[in-house]
Amino acid sequence: MATADPATKEKVRALVREVLKSVPAETQPTVTEHVIVNSLKAQAARDWDRDESAKSLITEDDLRGLEAGSRLRVASNAKFTPLAGDLVAEKGIVLITKESRDIGLKVRSIAIGADHGGFPMKEQLKGWLGEIGLQVRDFGTTSTDSVDYPDFAHAVAKAVSGKQVDAGLLVDGAGIGSAMAANKVPGVRAAACYSPALAKNSREHNGANVLTLGSGQVTLDEAKSIIEAFVTTEISEDRHKHRVGKIDSIDREYRR
């Protein structure tokens, strides 16, 4: 292959130089700043290391994994099993009491229950009930597996009738069946309510001691508003008490 003459080589070099002129100058590579989210930093900003404030009874399992000197957030009415109490003392766990919302509660304790249709809402409401200052006793159900609502309505109603709690809350699909079942228990006055106004009326006029909700009828926020109206209202006027007394008289008549 013949070697190109000097003139041709110079033309090629000139052409290469022209091409290179059209290529943009190399820029410095862009450096992307990576932001590292440090969950430990967020945790340190809190006043506690673990939150168990939704529970009224703290067991040794609730303390599992906590290191010495850890900070545990608990409800103001929380009780400890003997072993849990020993672990708190041995590890020097610092207890931080959660402040309850002061909404003017007229009841202090509540039994809750639900069938499979009401289970998800019951679970969402359970922690919130503790937050507003109520001591909660959960009578089930414990999953979305199909169950019979009268069983749980009966359990909650018995707790109310036996004065184990101040009031009851039941959640099923419509709120009607649970009210019917609960009202078969002596001393129980269950009301299915779909608005705060009805909940307030059921307490103020009818002395209701069990509230039933339909998970398919109200949203979670609506349920909270209804419950808040129920637990912050009580019967006070004599004319209403007189009429509720007649309801109780009918109840007693058919229990003879």
In DSSP terms, 75 is beta-bridged to: 98
Write out the two tokens for 47. Answer: 């006043």
How far apart CA 90 and CA 26 sit, in angstroms, is: 65
CB atoms within 10 A of CB 74: 23
Q: Active-site positions?
A: 205
How far apart CA 232 and CA 81 sit, in angstroms, is: 31
How far apart CA 256 and CA 250 sit, in angstroms, is: 11
Contacts of 20 (CB under 8 A, 6+ apart): none
**DSSP calls for 106-175:** S-SEEEEEE-TTTHHHHHHHHHHHHHTT-EEEE----SSS---HHHHHHHHHHHHHTTSSSEEEEEESSS
How far apart CA 20 and CA 14 sit, in angstroms, is: 10
202 close to 191: Cβ distance less than 8 angstroms: yes
171 close to 144: Cβ distance less than 8 angstroms: no
**DSSP calls for 205-256:** TT---EEEEETTTS-HHHHHHHHHHHHT-----HHHHHHHHHHHHHHHHTT-
